[in-house]
Amino acid sequence: MGYANIKFPKDSLFLVTGGAGFIGSNLCETILEMGYKVRCLDDLSTGKQENVDMFLSEPDYTFIKGDIKNLDLCIEACQGVDYVLHQAAWGSVPRSVEMPLFYCANNIAGTLNMLEAARQNSVKKFVYASSSSVYGDEPNLPKTEGREGNLLSPYAVSKRCDEEWGKQYTLHYGLDTYGLRYFNVFGRRQDPHGTYAAVIPKFIKQLLNDEQPTINGDGKQSRDFTYIENVIEANLKACAAPHEAAGEAFNIAYGGREYLIDIYYAIAEALNKNIEPKFGPDRIGDIKHSNADISKAKKLLGYYPEYDFKNGLNEAISWYMRNL
């Protein structure tokens, strides 16, 4: 693994917010396997208790059910913490269009609470989830940090605000912050259910059930789909990054580009299903094409992702076939 040789001081304590979610639970699992302590904070609004039940017998794991909109709770959760991996947020571009006030309160004010709590507790590193959505309507590919367009959704606004607040906390308060602009993460434990489910697990679930999936748009939109192991590597590399890289945001992807219709047929072939998809309307606020330039993360974080799309997809399909 790209993070196998990363070492932290013995007895290091990691706080993973949103730790019962897809990305958060994978971070909890990996850090525990590496021999460090994990404190998981989640209000279970989108995360699932079943994602972290397996850790309950671990002596180095503790769970706090709580809301990042509660500053006092955030301060308490950060006590004694060395590294914060802030994954707690509500995702989904279309849902954010329907719920702008909530996204402001949860994704922006909640992140600010966590930054302040980390500052008050002298946390060493604060690594937080941003998003490729911050590129908005900027048409050029690959997407490069510092060349962003007009934001297209409240979700994108929330992530861009988080980056600005992270920069301020490094600039004024000495808190080393690192923003990770995730590009379409997929892999084990990603929720395949619900209206706002991510496309890869949703396709897999529907095809396994012999249902006809719907593709929003014409299927010719492209994404830099990024396997979960690459994202774990990025978070741990950021925790080990130098102060000189703090206050910045980084593209976290593999650096490839896959078309949605091609992904659909690849999954159908892997599952030996001969079901043609339906096509629906474009999703409001969606970006048509996305592909990341990851050279900045390579240079400043030492991020060299190991899993290309094909390898990641094969692993994801195998996991869902065992667990759905």
State pLDDT tens for residues 8-17: 999 999 999 9
Tell me: pLDDT of 196 over 90: no
What residues have CB less than 8 Å from 64, skipping those under 6 apart?
Answer: 39, 40, 41, 42, 73, 77
Tell me: pLDDT of 197 over 90: no
pTM tops 0.75, yes or no: yes
Boundaries of every domain in the chain? 13-186+227-255+290-306
223-264 pLDDT, tens digit per residue, is 999 999 999 999 999 999 999 999 999 999 999 999 999 999
Arithmetic mean of pLDDT, 145-160: 97
276-314 pLDDT, tens digit per residue, is 999 998 887 777 888 999 999 999 999 999 999 999 999
- What distances in angstroms separate CA 228 from CA 61, 69, 282, 300, 308, one per listed residue? 21, 27, 26, 20, 11
Cβ atoms of 80 and 13 within 8 Å: the answer is yes
160 C-beta neighbours (distance < 10 Å), count: 21
Closest CA to 50 of 184, 188, 186, 185: 188
> What is the length of the chain?
324
What's the pLDDT at 322?
94
Beta pairing, strands 226-227 & 185-186: parallel
Report d(CA 3, CA 318) in Å as an integer. 23
What's the pLDDT at 211?
95
320 is catalytic: no
What's the pLDDT at 284?
77
72-101 pLDDT, tens digit per residue, is 999 999 999 999 999 999 998 999 999 999
Catalytic residue among 155, 169, 182, 307: 155
Name the phi and psi angles at 212, rounded to 5: -95, 110
What's the pLDDT at 299?
98
pLDDT more than 70, % of the chain: 100
CATH fold, domain 13-186+227-255+290-306, is Rossmann fold (3.40.50)
Report d(CA 228, CA 224) in Å as an integer. 13
